[in-house]
Amino acid sequence: MVPWEAGDAARTSHGWDALMYFLFGSSHSLNRLVFSEVEDQIVHPLGHGEWTPEKANIGGALMVLLAPSGKTGISFAHQLRQREGKPSKVVAVGSAASRDFSVGTGLFDEVWGYEDLDGPLPGVEDAKKVVMVNFGARGDFAERWAKVLREKSKVFQVILVGKDPEGDAIGGELGKSAYDPTSDVEQMNAGGIREAAFAKLGEEEYFKDLDAAWEKFKADGAVRGLQMVWLKGMEGVEKGWDGLVKQEYGPDTGVLVEL
């Protein structure tokens, strides 16, 4: 553990490790394996099943990320920018409350609001493929966006990473669709992908690749505009938890407790 009297750089690095490393790993797996640029390393979003090179190919695709202001979504946006075969555009779709933060990260080509689905969606109809990745949009926005994008797209795919925490356990209509192998909707299982990666790459190579990507993420400045709030002891745990429950901390704040 890095003590409080440690230098700012070491303490900040340790803070990022505690705050985001695990979530970054899920997004790294999604980018590196589900959308792998190496054909024999492609992994299905669940970790098992058929996932063709055509489905894995997002080079030149328009990526629409719903509720991307959380740690997993932000990590994925960063990882998309590290690819050789980059998407044509990465679009954030979120709430009005998260808009300024999403814009400030500098990781998105455009930032749209949930309600913008009723207006023009630049680039969607012309894109060779549109991939919608849902990190947990509230209410029925994921279903509504999927319907509109599916109608406007030449080729359309959906990856479900998160779901509305106040919704049903299955994840609404899109969650049900993920059980249908003929649909364009797939559920992601980070643990399943990791196990498949161990089999394909070996555990040592998997973590070597992940840790290199993580260190570059931190070297790039991690998340621009995200501040760390440091609390201490069990009182800090209580204060931090209460603040999260009461939504006193927005997407621009990461809460850390040193015990």
Looking at residue 3, its pLDDT comes to 42
Residues 100-152 pLDDT 10s? 999 999 999 999 999 999 899 999 999 999 999 999 999 999 999 999 999 99
Average pLDDT taken over every residue of the chain: 93
* pTM, 2 dp: 0.93
Looking at residue 169, its pLDDT comes to 67
Average pLDDT over every residue of 39-64: 97
Collapsed DSSP state (helix, strand, coil) of residue 39: helix
CATH superfamily of 19-200: NAD(P)-binding Rossmann-like Domain (3.40.50.720)
Residues 4-26 pLDDT 10s? 444 588 889 999 999 999 999 99
Rounded to the nearest 5 percent, the helix, strand and coil shares of the chain are: 45, 15, 35
Looking at residue 7, its pLDDT comes to 56
Q: Identify whether the C-beta of residue 149 lies closer than 8 Å to the C-beta of residue 64.
A: yes
* Size of the chain in residues: 259
Residues 155-204 pLDDT 10s? 999 999 998 777 776 778 899 999 998 999 999 999 999 999 999 999 99
Looking at residue 4, its pLDDT comes to 41
Looking at residue 217, its pLDDT comes to 96
* Alpha carbon distance 74, 65 (integer Å): 10
Looking at residue 10, its pLDDT comes to 87
**pLDDT range class, residue 245, cuts 50, 70, 90:** confident
Looking at residue 53, its pLDDT comes to 97
Backbone dihedral region of 225: left (phi > 0), alpha (psi from -120 to 50 degrees) or beta? left
Alpha helices in the chain (DSSP H): 8-29, 53-56, 71-80, 96-105, 141-152, 172-177, 190-201, 203-219, 233-245
Domain residue spans in the chain?
19-200, 226-259
Amino acid letter, residue 190: A
